[in-house]
């Protein structure tokens, strides 16, 4: 089955700072842009940053407990291959990114075992990047 790319637009209160973060830290290719928004190729999906005043979620994220960690809500991200996830974790560490949840393997030895990490962009949007050694576990119960 071939997946269609998703489109996600997120609020950022500092477009130049967010643009630099997504372009330089994640090495995302830029698409169309204007003064108040920028399209990015987010691993084959369309991520758009849009200028918007700071939101309540960006001021202080709500969290839910998952596997002994406080997971920020809302958040977004992408499921990578294991190798991509490991490379991204190293890249983020090399850029001295502060993690909300450091890269680790969650649910070790259980259904849904996955590598995960959480961080904030410079405008307070929470991101999660994860990977499964067995992609068949993605929707396992």
Same domain, yes or no: 33 and 101: no
Note the pLDDT of residue 52.
96
Residues in the chain: 141
- pTM exceeds 0.85: yes
pLDDT digits (tens, 9 = 90+) for 32-57: 999 999 999 999 999 999 999 998 77
Number of structural domains, the chain?
2
Give tens-digit pLDDT for 92-136: 999 999 999 999 999 888 888 899 999 999 999 999 999 998 888
How many helices (DSSP H) and strands (DSSP E) are in the chain? 3, 10
Q: Are strands 69-73 and 7-12 parallel, antiparallel or unpaired?
A: unpaired
Residues 36 and 80 in one domain: no
Same-domain check for residues 67 and 130: yes
pLDDT for the residue numbered 1: 59
* Claim to verify: residue 78 and residue 22 sit in the same structural domain: no
Can you read off the two tokens belonging to residue 102? 């450091």
State what percent of residues in the chain have pLDDT above 70: 99
* Residues 41 and 68 occupy one common structural domain: no
User: How would you label 37-72 residue by residue, b for 16+ Cβ within 10 Å and e otherwise?
Assistant: bbbbebbeeebbbebbeeeebbeebeeeeeeebebb
């Amino acid at each position: 089955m071939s997946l269609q790319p998703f489109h996600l637009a997120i609020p950022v209160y500092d477009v130049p700072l967010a643009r630099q973060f997504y372009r330089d830290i994640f090495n995302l290719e830029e698409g169309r842009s204007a003064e108040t928004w920028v399209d990015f190729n987010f691993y084959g999906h369309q991520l758009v940053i849009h200028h918007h005043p700071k939101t309540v979620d960006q001021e202080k994220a709500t969290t839910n407990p998952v596997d002994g960690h406080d997971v920020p809500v809302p958040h977004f991200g992408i499921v990578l291959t294991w190798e991509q996830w490991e490379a991204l974790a190293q890249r983020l560490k090399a850029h001295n990114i502060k993690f909300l949840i450091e890269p680790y393997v969650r649910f070790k030895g259980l259904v849904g075992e996955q590598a995960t990490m959480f961080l904030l962009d410079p405008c307070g949007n929470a991101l999660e990047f994860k990977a499964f050694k067995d992609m068949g576990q993605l929707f396992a119960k």
